[in-house]
Chain A
Amino acid sequence: MVEKVLRKDNWLNFIQALTDARDLWLPVKDGSMQKFAPYSEENKGALEEYTNSDVPPKVAVFPQTETMFRFQLGGQQVELPEGEKGKVFLGVRPCDARAMSIVDSVFQWDEDDTYYSDRREKTILIGLACHEPFLNCFCTSLEGSPGSTQGLDVLMVDLGESYYLKAVSDRGNSLLQEIGNVLDDASDEGKQADEIIKNAEEKIVRKIETGDITEKLKQLWEDPLWKQVSQSCLGCGACTYLCPTCHCFDIQDEVEGYEGRRCRMWDTCMNSEYTLHASGHNPRPSRRDRTRNRINHKYYYYVEKFDKIACVGCGRCITSCPVNIDIIDILSRVKEAL
């Protein structure tokens, strides 16, 4: 796998090379929000003050609203979407890429979700290693790292005057070779990069112990801690929409006149209609049940099904929760409850 170096004064050529054949998405600032958006004349990216995007890059493979097919009323025909042009996402933090590989297990499980898989195949992820933890990062507690390569095609590390790029997958390898004319070969920059990543790991402050979390959660079904941590929950969807591993969706038909489309959009398990049956019965009628479900899903059910914890420690849920419900706090209570 090739290793290259990009001098910072060559940045624009690098961007040009990437946009030539594909859509390039990178982090931009929209008001107070950081998110991924297509590169354009108006949107040249905002990597200088970039920490991590508020909306995770899962939008690359799992957009917030996606049309599944179109139809005409009264007709028998259904029109499927054409495949998309390939996209390159630049500046993906390692935790978010890990999250995508964790979510792959669901979308490529017994039935392959073609909408997801098609995008996953066509999206190239260029990661950017973290120099320091952001506000609520705890990736190292969950087998992650500021320089993890899982799920990425290329990993970039900012060395100050230049970037070190390492190809991780075959796709990443071909990409780096394709744009090789704007890059130089790496010599010992790899070692510098490793130092930076190691320093970043040591700076992480927030930690949890996840050793036997699944076993503990199995025994805590009726524990009063769930009521305590969920009493202030508003039941909004902020934590779920900003979570890189959350993948619930709703499917609705939208009809205008004689045309319509079926589309799927993000849904949240914190909403009161989450498991509302058509009969009116709801097995999870209260916020306590739904909060318990969310934590169990990430740390217990997902582990039982796919042997992975569906949380990467990005901390977005903690930062975005308006009433300060903190997953690290919940997990430490789980630890103490037994």
Chain B
Amino acid sequence: MSESFEPNIVAFLCNWCSYAGADLAGTSRVKYASNVKVIRVMCTGRVNPLFVMNALQQGADGVLISGCHPGDCHYMEGNMYARRRFGLLKELMEFIGVDPRRIHMSWVSASEGGKWKEVVEKVVEDVSEVGPFEQFKRDKINW
């Protein structure tokens, strides 16, 4: 991969913790890589693991799901279900042959602006190492 590869990363952030944490990083004028495109969901428990699959199909190079720490979920247990699901999704994807460095999950709370920056930097670094996603990306509309 060339020096100029900028990965396209889609992040599903839970409204109450991670989105607020990312917002805090913004208001604190923290500088970090700008490759992440954020989709706000109310809770990570809402994130269907097939969103990850679909994001990769549509052109994302990496996907990040971030939510509240266990025990702190605004809806009590949504992140617990998410933890189970994504643990197994990563196993499945790795078994199929999708590099595990493409899919990440993290706990970022509303006050962890600094941690958000680190999470993003790690994800961008990992995905940059792996390169653009071509495995089952949808082809441009062609014959």
Contact = CB atoms under 8 A, between A and B. Distances in A.
Q: Do chains A and B touch in the complex (CB under 8 A)?
A: yes
Interface of A: 67, 70, 81, 254, 256, 259-261
Interface stretch (B9-17, B30-38, B108-116, B135-143): B135-143
Interface in B125-143: 138, 140-143
Give the most central of A254, A256, A260, A261: most B CB within 10 Å.
A256
A259 B140 contact: yes
B58 interface: yes
A67 B141 CA distance: 9
B143 A67 contact: yes
A256 B138 contact: yes
A81 B141 CA distance: 12
Contacts of B141: 70, 254, 256, 259-261
Chain B interface size, under 10 / 10 to 19 / 20 to 34 / 35 or more: under 10
Contacts of B58: 256
A67 B140 CA distance: 13
Secondary structure type dominating chain B contacts: loop
Interface of B: 58, 138, 140-143
Going nearest first, the 5 A-B pairs with the smallest beta carbon separation are A259-B141, A261-B141, A67-B143, A81-B143, A70-B141
Contacts of A67: 142-143
Contacts of B140: 256, 259
Given A256-B138, A256-B140, 12 more contacts: A67-B142, A67-B143, A70-B141, A70-B143, A81-B143, A254-B141, A256-B58, A256-B141, A259-B140, A259-B141, A260-B141, A261-B141
A107 to B, nearest CB: 20
Nearest to B139: A256
A70 B143 CA distance: 9
B1 to A, nearest CB: 24
A60 to B, nearest CB: 16
A251 to B, nearest CB: 16
14 contacts: A67-B142, A67-B143, A70-B141, A70-B143, A81-B143, A254-B141, A256-B58, A256-B138, A256-B140, A256-B141, A259-B140, A259-B141, A260-B141, A261-B141
